[in-house]
Amino acid sequence: STGDAITEPIHGNITYSYGNYKIGVSKKLGGPRPATYPEDFSLKTIPGEALKISTFNVENLYPELPEVKFKQIARIIIDSLKTPDLIGLQEIHDNSGPKNDGTVDAKTTLQQLTDFIVREGGPRYRFLQLNPENNADGGWPGANIRNAFLYLPTMTLGASYRFQDPAFDENDASEFSGTRKPLIAFFKHGEKKLIVINCHLRSKGGDSPTMGTLFPPVRFSEVQRTAQTRALRKHVEELRQKHPDAGIVVLGDMNDFEFSPALENLTQNGGLINLVESVPLNQRYTYIFQGFSQVLDHILVSDNLSPAFSATIVHVNADRSSELRASDHDPVLAWLK
C-alpha cells in the first residue's frame, strides 16, 4: 500500500520490463511497516440534508464475485460517502459476469449490491441500467460492461437513454463505438431539476509507456477520448438550450486528467466546471498507475450549479494494496453547500 515502509536495506539489480524499471531484490525482504491514513475531515462538514452526488468505478462487479467485494463497496457507500442521493457507477457487468453466454441484463448484479447496502445497515437504493448490445461496448468478452445509477427515493427519475443511434447524429455516436455508452437520466430533487450524464470513456490501453522507447510517450487513445468529449459537449449544449431550468452534471471515469484536451473540451469557453479542480493538489488523485497518482474520475457541473457545490475525493481504495481494497478507483463526492 502507499506509505508502507521497508525499514531494511534493499539490495538487487535494476531490471526493465513491461515499460518500467524495477529492482530485482537479491534476498527476501521482511514485511513492511504499514502506513496509517488520516481521516478526511471535509466529510464532517457536509450538512445532513445536503444533496450528495458521487461517481464510483467499482471495478468489474458481477454476482459471482466473493461476498467481501460487495460488502466492501456497501461499507464505502454507507461510511465513507455518507449514502449519497445519487451514485454514478461504472464497470457493472451483466448477470453472468465474464461468461460469454449472450446474457446482457445486469439487474441481478445491481440488486445484489443494493441488497448488501441494506444488509450493512444502509438505505434501500433504486437502480437504473439500460442493456447494451451483446459484446458491443468493450471490456471483458461476455461481461457487457456498462454504467448504472443508484438513487434514493429523494430523487425522482424521469426519462433516461444511452448515447447512441438513433437518438444522436451517427457521427457523434460513432465516437463511442466499442466503448461504454454514456447513460443519461433526468432527475428531480425537490424543486431542483438535474440532467446527469454517466460516462466511462475510452481507456488508456494501447498508449506507449512512460518509460518506453517513444519519448515523449504517445497517447494513442487520446484521439478517441477527445472525440468523445467533443460529442458530449455538443449534446450538453443542446440540453442547455432545451432545458434552461435544469442543472447538468457530467460524471464518471473519464480515463483522463483534468488538464487533458479531452476534459478541456468540456470545460473551456463557457463549458462545465470541473469540481475536482477545487480539491487540494496533494489530495487530487483517484487512481495510481505504476506509482503515478492521477485523476481519472470527475464530476463536472453547469454554471447554474457550480457555486452551490463542494467536492472531495474519498481515498479508500487507490492507496491500498489489491487485497485490501474494494476497487482500483477512489470515488468522488460532491454536495450542495
User: What's the burial of 78, exposed, middle or buried (CB within 10 Å: 0-12/13-18/19+)?
Assistant: middle
Structure confidence at residue 215 as a pLDDT band (50, 70, 90): confident
CB 208 within 8 A of CB 218: yes
CA distance 271 to 155: 25
With pLDDT > 70 as the criterion, what percentage of the chain qualifies? Answer: 94
In the chain, beta strands by DSSP E: 12-17, 20-25, 52-61, 86-92, 126-128, 146-151, 156-162, 183-189, 192-200, 247-253, 273-274, 287-289, 292-294, 297-301, 309-313, 332-336
Terminal Cα-to-Cα distance of the chain (whole angstroms): 33
Residues 155 and 196 in one domain: yes
Q: In this predicted structure, which of 47-56, 115-124, 194-203, 311-320 has the lowest mean pLDDT?
A: 47-56
pLDDT value of residue 166: 43
Residue 42 domain-assigned?
Answer: no
pLDDT tens-digit readout, 133-157? 999 999 999 999 999 999 999 999 9
Residues 210 and 304 grouped into a single domain: yes
Decide if 276 is inside a domain: yes
Share of the chain above pLDDT 90, in %: 72
- Which residues form the domain of 14? 1-36
79 within domain boundaries: yes
Q: 57 and 28 in one domain?
A: no
Concatenated DSSP letters of 245-295? TSEEEEEEE-SS-TTSHHHHHHHTTT--EEGGGGS-GGG--SEEETTEEE-
Give the β-pairing of 52-61 and 332-336: antiparallel
Q: Are residues 223 and 259 in the same domain?
A: yes
- Position 40 scores a pLDDT of 60
Residues 177 and 317 in one domain: yes
Residues 225 and 277 in one domain: yes
107 contacts: CB under 8 Å, gap ≥ 6? 95, 127, 129
Whether the pLDDT of residue 277 is over 50: the answer is: yes
- Considering the domain boundaries, does residue 266 fall inside one? yes
Q: Which of 61, 115, 125 is nearest to 92 (CA)?
A: 61
E strand residue ranges, 115-172? 126-128, 146-151, 156-162
Residue 43 in domain: no
Do 10 and 59 belong together in one domain?
Answer: no
Residues 30 and 54 in one domain: no
User: Are residues 59 and 82 both part of a single domain?
Assistant: yes
Domain assignment present for residue 41? The answer is no
pLDDT of res. 167: 45
What are the tens digits of pLDDT across the range 4-40? 788 888 889 999 987 888 889 988 888 778 777 766 6
Same domain flag for 160 and 29: no
Spatial contact of 130 and 146, defined as CB atoms under 8 Å apart:
yes
Selected residue with higher pLDDT from 37 and 279: 279
Contact between residue 257 and residue 204 where contact means Cβ atoms under 8 Å apart: no
Tally of structural domains, the chain: 2
Regarding whether 52 and 194 lie in a shared domain, the answer is yes
Q: What is the pTM of this model?
A: 0.93
Residues 55 and 4 placed together within one structural domain of the fold: no
